[in-house]
Amino acid sequence: MHNLINTSQIRKKDMTMSEVRVRIAPSPSGNLHVGTARTALFNYLFAKKNNGKFILRIEDTDAERTSQAYIDNIFDSLKALGLNWDEGPDVGGDYGPYTQSERFDIYPKYAQILLEKGFAYECFCTPEELEAEKELATKNKQAYVYSKKCENLTEEEKEKLRKEGRKPALRFNIAKAQKAFHENSILKFDDLVKGELHMDTDLLGDFVIMKSNGTPTYNFAVVIDDMLMKISHVIRGEDHISNTFKQILIFEALGAEVPRFGHLGMILAPDRSKLSKRHGATAVSEFVEKGYLTDALINFVALLGWSPSDGQEIKTVDEIAQDFRIGEISSSNSIFEYDKLNWMNSHYIKMLPIEELKEKLKPYLTQYDLSELTDAQYTRMVEVTREPLTLLSDITDAVPYFFGEGVEIEPEVQSDVLDTETSQEVLKEFVAQAKDWEFDEENLHEKLEVFRGKFKEKGIKPKVTMWAIRAAVTGRTRGADMTAILAILGKDKVIARVNSAIK
């Protein structure tokens, strides 16, 4: 009996302890980057798959580079992508605040603990001294590691330095922590995506955890926050691998449970360099402005490293979550190629419910007077022009002929199509007949079929016949379905345009 109760209690305890809590911790020194979006996505997927919590934390310890506009952009982008967080600066949670600058008072406490335990020491080195050390190392072609010259400063020495007005920074004592918890200088951990990773901690160098101005450095703040927020799994880019070793040591020095880590390969530009502004858009919001759908973007980015078990690549985030296993993520870098993103975007545009598409297209139609069209006409216009769109913004150049009385004729269209004798003949005949037609699509379709059939008997290809009409009405040789165009424009406009094309 007692045993039973005990087991169930242990189970319960295990379950609460192993609750999955992951986080995305962007630093608001720029708009939300697609790379960050992908990291956020994988965290989100992992949380969803494991019934865990997805947490948003803003890492703004560097006040210089932080701005509210960036914070807003991060919030908006994440939301637009459908990556909603369970805890965060705006929604709160049990482990807040979720903005590091609002947590400044809690870091010194833990720094003090480390200091008292001997895992940290004050460092009075000036930037110049440090610079000199580095230069020397480079000159001797050696890896730079801090000299630890402040490690064993006596109280008198420190006092003297303090009187000189020098404010100490706090450094973490790597070797001491490593020795305290590990057999030798090699630190290992089992990475969720890469497997066992190891590092000789002698090469790490005692890093600063508290700056002389009293604020924490990234590596320290992250650990404290992850610890306090009970983060169970840290999934982030592989550019953090070396930080991970430092952070594990801090967790251990603090006597905290070390979370599991998983490092993702990076997203590279087609030239294999880091994805940056010179390659085009990098922020999610920029992609949106360019006319990409967030559903397409997130789906595309999910495929960078992850692949579906059923081969079906078009999937919603929730569908991906079902199929998601972090160990199956590719551990190599991947290149961000627009080809597939573009294909995916056009696919999503085709799939989008018409009402939604009509709304999403409006920002790209501001140069036209939409009041010229009834809602039914606008709907139809969108229906017949959506097919070839790669970007939402492509709509701008796809529809000018639906607006205004006359139409701008492209020069080549004038000379190659309208100026030909056949075209003129077709147009004259068209006006003669069309003035008696009903301009609804069904009827137009039949009439046009008969119309080009007549010309075909005279040896004029249907294609040529239709081109003449298309050219006169739209000024182009390519575009949406002719019957739809004619129906939307209506008899008066069509006849007027054709008449003005007749010489």
Partner RNA sequence: GCUCCCAUCGUCUAGAGGCCUAGGACAACACCCUUUCACGGUGUAGACGGGGAUUCGAAUUCCCCUGGGAGUACCA
Using rule CB under 7 A, residue 96 touches RNA: no
Q: Which stretch binds RNA (CB under 7 A): 3-11, 137-145, 174-182, 375-383?
A: 137-145
CA dihedral 329, 332, 333, 338 (to 10 degrees): -60
Number of residues near RNA (by CB under 7 A): 89
Q: Which of 277, 340, 454, 461 is catalytic?
A: 277
Using rule CB under 7 A, residue 238 touches RNA: yes
448-487 positions binding RNA, by CB under 7 A: 448, 452, 462-463, 466-467, 470, 477-483
Using rule CB under 7 A, residue 242 touches RNA: yes
Is 456 part of the annotated catalytic residue set? no
Q: Which stretch binds RNA (CB under 7 A): 2-10, 172-180, 214-222, 359-367?
A: 214-222
Contact 250, 223 (CB under 8 A): yes
Using rule CB under 7 A, residue 139 touches RNA: no
**What is the rounded CA–CA span in Å between residue 440 and residue 443?**
6
Using rule CB under 7 A, residue 185 touches RNA: no
SS3 assignment, position 151 = coil
* Single residue of 165, 195, 353, 459 touching RNA by CB under 7 A: 195
CA dihedral 172, 174, 177, 180 (to 10 degrees): -150
* Single residue of 215, 285, 393, 420 touching RNA by CB under 7 A: 215
**What is the rounded CA–CA span in Å between residue 447 and residue 445?**
6
Using rule CB under 7 A, residue 273 touches RNA: yes
DSSP 334: E
* Single residue of 445, 491, 496, 502 touching RNA by CB under 7 A: 445
* Single residue of 67, 147, 185, 334 touching RNA by CB under 7 A: 334
**What is the rounded CA–CA span in Å between residue 410 and residue 486?**
19
Token pair belonging to 278: 């010179």
394-423 positions binding RNA, by CB under 7 A: none
Using rule CB under 7 A, residue 124 touches RNA: yes
* Single residue of 18, 126, 443, 499 touching RNA by CB under 7 A: 126
- In this complex, which beta carbon is closest to RNA, that of residue 11 or of residue 461? 461
Amino acid at the residue 450:
V
Using rule CB under 7 A, residue 165 touches RNA: no
Q: Which stretch binds RNA (CB under 7 A): 6-14, 103-111, 287-295, 330-338?
A: 330-338
Contact 340, 299 (CB under 8 A): no
To the nearest whole angstrom, how small is the minimum distance from the Cβ of residue 130 to RNA?
A: 6
To the nearest whole angstrom, how small is the minimum distance from the Cβ of residue 10 to RNA?
A: 29
To the nearest whole angstrom, how small is the minimum distance from the Cβ of residue 286 to RNA?
A: 20
To the nearest whole angstrom, how small is the minimum distance from the Cβ of residue 476 to RNA?
A: 8
Nearest by Cα to 249 from 147, 114, 100, 61:
114
Nearest by Cα to 297 from 309, 305, 285, 306:
285
Q: Which element (helix H / strand E) includes 431?
A: helix 421-434
Instruction: Report the alpha-carbon angle 248-254-255, nearest 5.
Output: 90
> Which residues have C-beta within 8 Å of that of residue 211, sequence separation ≥ 6?
169, 217
Q: Which stretch binds RNA (CB under 7 A): 71-79, 189-197, 414-422, 423-431?
A: 189-197
**What is the rounded CA–CA span in Å between residue 115 and residue 111?**
6
What is the pattern of x (binds RNA, CB under 7 A) and - over residues 343-372?
x--xx--x----------------------
- What string of DSSP letters covers 11-45? HHHHHHHT--EEEE---SSSSPBHHHHHHHHHHHH
* Single residue of 268, 373, 460, 502 touching RNA by CB under 7 A: 268
37-76 positions binding RNA, by CB under 7 A: 59-62, 65
- In this complex, which beta carbon is closest to RNA, that of residue 215 or of residue 420? 215
- What string of DSSP letters covers 73-126? HHHHHHHHTT---SBBTTTB-TT---BGGGGTTTHHHHHHHHHHHTSEEEE---
Using rule CB under 7 A, residue 207 touches RNA: yes
Using rule CB under 7 A, residue 190 touches RNA: no
Using rule CB under 7 A, residue 213 touches RNA: yes
> Alpha-carbon Rg of the chain, whole angstroms?
33
* Single residue of 82, 93, 96, 388 touching RNA by CB under 7 A: 388
- In this complex, which beta carbon is closest to RNA, that of residue 54 or of residue 124? 124
CB atoms within 10 A of CB 204: 20
DSSP 477: S
5-34 positions binding RNA, by CB under 7 A: 27, 29
* Single residue of 32, 40, 120, 304 touching RNA by CB under 7 A: 304
To the nearest whole angstrom, how small is the minimum distance from the Cβ of residue 19 to RNA?
A: 25
Using rule CB under 7 A, residue 36 touches RNA: no
* Single residue of 305, 317, 475, 501 touching RNA by CB under 7 A: 305
Contact 182, 175 (CB under 8 A): no
**What is the rounded CA–CA span in Å between residue 68 and residue 89?**
13
Catalytic residue numbers read 277
